[in-house]
Amino acid sequence: MRSSPAATVDDLAAGSPAEAEPRWHRLTAQDLLGRLGTDATRGLTAAVAASRLRVVGPNSLPERPSPSAWTLFARQFRSPLVVVLLAALPVAAAVGESIDAAAIGAIVVLNATLGFVQEHRADRALAALRRMAVGRATVIRDGERLNVGTEDIVPGDLLVFDPGDAVAADARLVWTSGLRIEEAALTGESVPVTKTTEPITAEALADRHNMAFLGTHVSAGKGHGIVVSTGAGTELGRVAVLLGAADRDETPLERRLERLGMVLLRVALAAVGALLVLGLARGEAPGTMILTAVSLAVAAIPEGLPAIVTIALAMGVTRMARRHAIVRRLPAVETLGAATVICTDKTGTLTRGEMVVTRLLAGRARVRVTGEGYAPHGEFSTLPPDPHNPAAIRSLLSAAVLASDATLVRDGDAWMVVGDPTEGALVAAAGKAGLSTDVLETEWPRVVDVPFDGDRKRMTVVRRGRLGLTAFVKGAPEVLLERCSFVLGPGGLVEPLDQAWKRHVERANADFAREALRVLAVARREVGDSAGAADPEQLETALTWLGLVAMSDRPRPEAAPAIASCMSAGIRPVMITGDHRETGVAIAEEIGLETGPGAVMTGAEMDRVSDEELCGRVERVAVYARVSAEHKLRIVRAWRRLGAVVAMTGDGVNDAPALREADIGVAMGRTGTAVAREAADLVVTDDNFASIVAATAEGRRIYENIRKATTYLLSCNVSELLVMAIAIAGGLPLPLLPVQILWLNLLTDGLPALALTLEPAESDLMRRPPRPPRAEVLDGSRLITIGRHGLFMALGAFALFVGAERALGADLTRARTLIFTALVFSQLAHALNSRSESQSLASLGVRGNGLLFAAVLSGVALQWTVTAVPFLARGLGVVPLTLHDWGLAALTGALPLAGMEFEKAWRAWHDLPRATHREVNHGDNESGRVPRSQ
């Protein structure tokens, strides 16, 4: 890289490789300013900033180019079923069946259009999320503070950092005052990092404490930084570039439908080929048999299935959007329904993501604090009663606020924190005691900050009051207790801190810690106008003890029911947190996760075991504590090696690999980074675990309904094939004409099958174990059911055909009309039967799926229309039927339904003893033990 400042900036703008860039964290401030041609106090000039923006381009993360509309549309034709239909289309046209060809083409185009529209809608929803993430930042240009869009920031800009700010670009810090930045989204560091301005030789990203990185947030303090990288050149941008180059594997549903399509193709070709050979051997006209074979091929393949699957998924996506989940790709809906393991973050997903003060030690009294979130409304109660408690509470919380930087702002009905969440909890607690942050700031102006340090485990703010300077200190209880010589006793009098007081404090601290509360100690010292007010060692000795403040991030109220729902569904819920083991265990116990021997594992323990050993333990572990992004990835891989279908949640940049590795990646829409959202299949807009479980239930419902529709479609098609096969094998005339087969498919395979995909979830859906990950859409028992039901319908209709022709003396056209109408009745009745494998039609009722009943009645009406209207009857080769004929056809169509309902009743009676046994066993297992996934 060239040595001149301008040349350096030009090289950056040209996109020089990362290894050619200067190690900004190693440079002194003067070297940095010289290389980037900027001023430490006045920043860039407006003209230079505009010039660099034209060269460098906007400060935005790279995004994978969206596919063109044509590419997106063409992508919808990859299904094997669609390929089969496209192959049948020219064959149908070649033999003169233009109606068949037109119908097949219309179905294929409808399927592609629906898939295209849904993927386009999902892309637009995510684009809206990205637009929401675009913010503004404060820069200094020409010596003036300006609020500019983050996309307009360029290398060399002087960025201003205040509490609550999102860091808008990678910057080298040149001035700080108690600056702490939350970097968990990028580095996985669970606590805010205290920043410095001195050169640093360490290369690890988490150790570059003189840098601020895009995608992180200022939690406390102030600072200035010189922008060194924007957009794709930032650390966050490089991750996004690598992530954009990665491809995803097919989802389980995509793989199953591909296999199903190939099976149907082989079966259809074999069956139709056999019938064609048999017919030709019987002496049938080749033209007639070819036309019949094409019609049977169309009948054998459920041409409506791709469209029905797409519509079912699209409907599910719409329902999930109402439950705060945005699906990026349609098959991902079903994948979540197949999940056997859900690995979830704790903070903000199982918990509220809000620190709340719940306990105080003020004077000698332990105080209970009520209230929700950051709202400054609540009550204080003490055990035992302490007449001096109100004053002690006010003294403790006043000092806690004066040792903090956070503020509260109201956003509609909600209260939000600007700054560190822990300090926000202190401000909220002070508000509950009637203390105003604004009033305290006015009465006690800030003089000196001694920022928090991980080694010192405390921070101090010196403020000027009416009687001089006072140092307010907060930090780890064990550290502050050793530095206190006095205590604020009853009546507001200062007493010596003797051993009895210390034991009292230590007992309270231990009790709070056992409750998994985060505990801070608060103290103060009067320093007058001493020159030592800037010396931490003098400030933080001989302190006056004020008390303890204990807080926690409480579980969401819906978390425990959601966990219980997972357990009853046989899904293994796994909590992953960066918090300490004790905190994770306390939350886990509160929401119903197992925490017994072997059920809790820390990141340090994971580091000591191999991947093979982890695979042997992962099924027993329900809680992981103090883990990093690398640990998350190992957990996902261990579960997948055991054959599980894994859903993984994440919100940070460092979560992206685990989201990609999981079968279904779930990103947080409210707190998640753009990179995490791009890596995920599902974006949960309210960051709520209950929404993930609801999406899982929706995925199960969709899959079950797709299986119902598929079973219905294929059993109807089998009935048509059997009718034709029996007639050809028996030397009888063809019972159905090709155009009649097409009408049957259009009438009974379309709207009724679609209505089945809208069937409400069965009551026990989330009490069933997950289906095996390798299970096909149609397993052996399902294929037997298809064959049995198809045979029921075929035998009844064929018996009517033979009887009408021989016993009733009907001509061939009337006999064909009767069997044709009987098959319509039996297939429409079978749609009602297909609503459930176990529940009777009477128990399901009509209201649950009104569309299906409307489809059945419409089908009957349309069938009457085509037999009654002369030109339609001629086109279909049918004749009008008498009332007696309609009665025969309806009775024949109802017989299979009666048989199937009897079958359900018999199976329910036969399975009752085993079901009762299962319920008893389930009742014995109320310990919270999580069942192992299949």
- Residue 469: which H helix or E strand, with range? strand 468-475
Strand 600-602, strand 623-625: pairing: parallel
Strand 407-411, strand 193-194: pairing: unpaired
Distance CA 361, CA 316 (A): 51
Distance CA 400, CA 423 (A): 8
Residues 6+ apart with CB under 8 A from 131: none
Distance CA 197, CA 189 (A): 20
Strand 682-684, strand 664-668: pairing: parallel
Buried b (16+ CB within 10 A) or exposed e, 584-600: bbbbbebbbbbbeeebb
Distance of CA 443 to the CA centre of its chain: 47
Contact of 154 with 227, CB cutoff 8 Å: yes
Which of 86, 88, 63 lies closest to 74 in space, CA to CA?
86
The one catalytic residue among 345, 449, 651, 749: 345
Amino acid at 752: P
3-state helix/strand/coil string of 578-595: CCCHHHHHHHHHHHCCCC
Distance CA 157, CA 176 (A): 16
Look at the chain and count its residues. 934
Distance CA 54, CA 11 (A): 14
3-state helix/strand/coil string of 911-929: HHHHHHHHHHHHHHCCCCC
**Helices and strands of the chain, counted as H and E runs:** 34, 27
Contact of 451 with 536, CB cutoff 8 Å: no
3-state helix/strand/coil string of 30-50: HHHHHHHCCCCCCCECHHHHH
Distance CA 462, CA 130 (A): 41
DSSP reduced 3-state for 325: strand
Which of 714, 726, 840 lies closest to 784 in space, CA to CA?
714
Contact of 790 with 719, CB cutoff 8 Å: yes
Distance CA 488, CA 494 (A): 5
Q: Which two tokens stand for residue 558?
A: 């819906």
CA torsion, ordered 361, 486, 483, 454, to nearest 10 deg: 40
Strand 646-650, strand 341-345: pairing: parallel
Place of tokens 């791709």: 306
Distance CA 237, CA 155 (A): 15
Looking at residue 685, the DSSP 8-state letter turns out to be T
Distance CA 764, CA 838 (A): 11
Asked if 749 is an active-site residue, the reply is: no
Max Cα-Cα span within the chain: 120
DSSP reduced 3-state for 401: helix
3-state helix/strand/coil string of 159-211: EEECCCCECCCEEEEEEEEEEEEECHHHHCCCCCEECCCCCCCCCCHHHCCCE
Distances from the Cα of 362 to the Cα of 16, 544, 781, angstroms: 58, 13, 68
- Looking at the annotation, which residues are catalytic? 345
